[in-house]
Amino acid sequence: MTYVCGHQRVPSDSKEFLEVTKRDALRLLENDLDRLLLSAMPERRASLQQEMARFVDLFRRFLQEEGPSIDWDKIQKLPENAVMDYSKLKSPNTDKVQMMLDKLVVVKLNGGLGTSMGCHGPKSVIPVRSDLTFLDLTVQQIEHLNKTYNANVPLVLMNSFNTDEDTEKIIRKYKGFRVQIYTFNQSCFPRICRESFLPIAKDCNVDKDIEAWYPPGHGDFYDTFRNSDLLKQFIDEGREYCFLSNIDNLGATVDLNILNKLVGEECLDKPVEFVMEVTDKTRADVKGGTLIQFENKLRLLEIAQVPKERVDEFKSVKTFKFFNTNNIWAKLDAIDRVCRHHTLNMEIIVNNKTLENGLRVVQLETAVGAAMKCFDGSIGINVPRSRFLPVKKTSDLFLVMSNLYNLKNGSLVMSPQRMFPTTPLVKLGENHFGKVKEFLGRFANIPDIIELDHLTVSGDVTFGRGGTVIIIANHGDRIDIPAGAILENKIVSGNMRILDH
């Protein structure tokens, strides 16, 4: 269960009691963290102390914040120039591209594991197309840019303690590629007990009790990027912007038209410090964060910040037309400024979890897009849907492995044979298709879906070499679709074997 911090207001006669308990909670937490630090190896204590100081700051804000972080009635209409239309952006002259790329750093959020799809290790090493992984495709994309324009765009991976070791081993294979790869680790924060608000960790040995620790969301990027010294290095090199995205979003490639608006011939007189790529909301995206104007600042509004009685309004495609792709362009010196001045003030996401042993814990997290309000001159750009191609489930994997996309220099490009630019809606049942191994075992190959509009598969279904529309195997039933079967505009349900004749 996840929600954005803000506690219900309490009657004034309870206020004093709460203030005392909050002070006690903070003091007890700091004492416990001091105890944990004593268990760390001496050479690690300084960096851990810095990390724990950030956690204490997050915890202090969690205790202090009252009420919802957004007053719904104070949401303002988006100004006309707040969201630019991508189609109005101009392409740069080819002779300017190298100069523009020399000002860019590409950052991929690489902290996630593939466990939700039944895979071990970092999610970035799951094969997604032609035996190439997310990381392979990313390296190919940037190498192609560097070779084509004689540039030197670096790739930076933000790992977590879950993915760091495996990623470091894997990136050795890219030594012969024309891409400089850097890595740094986001913070490792202690999970706290929901009842006592104290860390559940007994010492600082994360490997010994990995369930006691967590990476605190991608909002942690700004501070850890700066503390890694990579930010200073890139600024000293004359680089101006980073393009940051989730490693599992295969549509998040370097876009020269957007870069042209930031550092090229089309750049505005006043520099844009923060760009959030948004795209048109469809009924499949009603829970995605959106852009709003609030207190005369452009900012991200997540569903967890919305009062219950306003959720339907938030989900409305008419009221809120855009949703956040989490593709972000940020000015490097502005990141340095907001970190130095401690003006980063991202909403706290309170993530309640129950561990395997039944212990209820709290994770305090932040989201990278929520920092938008902390920068000057932030804008949104309404980009084509093709720039949002995340692979969160096997349903998404089904799409990117299909003939709907062609692979070109590490980028997936929708087939020109597709008559309309929207992607099909695919729903594969979690019980039988949720894990990658099961999913692959149920398809002899991915069917032709060039003209597909909607595919739902539920239950114990296996596919030969063909295609289908909606297939439902009821509990205890089994459906086999033979090789060569062509099902068009059909609903198949029950318990049956479809035979050739």
Q: Which residues are annotated as a binding site?
A: 123, 186, 217-218, 248, 392
Element at 395 (helix H, strand E): helix 394-401
Q: What CA–CA distance (Å, rounded) separates 36 from 310?
A: 43
CA atoms within 13 A on the CB side of 358: 0
218, 109 contact by CB (below 8 A): yes
Q: Which residues contact 134 (CB under 8 A, 6 or more apart)?
A: 123, 124, 125, 126, 128, 247, 248, 250, 391
- HEC-encoded secondary structure of 345-387: CCCCEEEEEECCCCCEEEEEECCHHHHHHHCCCEEEEECCHHH
* C-alpha 285, offset from chain centre: 14
Q: Which residues contact 202 (CB under 8 A, 6 or more apart)?
A: 209, 212
Helix, strand, or coil (residue 489): coil
Which residue, 242, 253, 441, 257, is CA-closest to 333?
242
Active site residue 318: no
- Phi, psi (degrees; rounded to nearest 5) at 453: -110, -45
Q: Residue 312 corresponds to which amino acid?
A: D
Q: What CA–CA distance (Å, rounded) separates 419 from 453?
A: 11
Q: Which residues share a beta bridge with 291?
A: 300
Within 229-345, where are the H helices?
Answer: 230-236, 256-263, 311-315, 332-340
Binding annotation for substrate: 218
Binding annotation for UTP: 123, 186, 217, 248, 392
With both helix axes pointing from N to C terminus, report the angle between 15-38 and 45-64 in degrees, rounded to the nearest 10.
Answer: 170
Helix, strand, or coil (residue 173): helix
Q: What CA–CA distance (Å, rounded) separates 289 from 245?
A: 15
The residue from 353, 392, 393, 427 that is catalytic is 392
Q: Which residues are catalytic?
A: 392
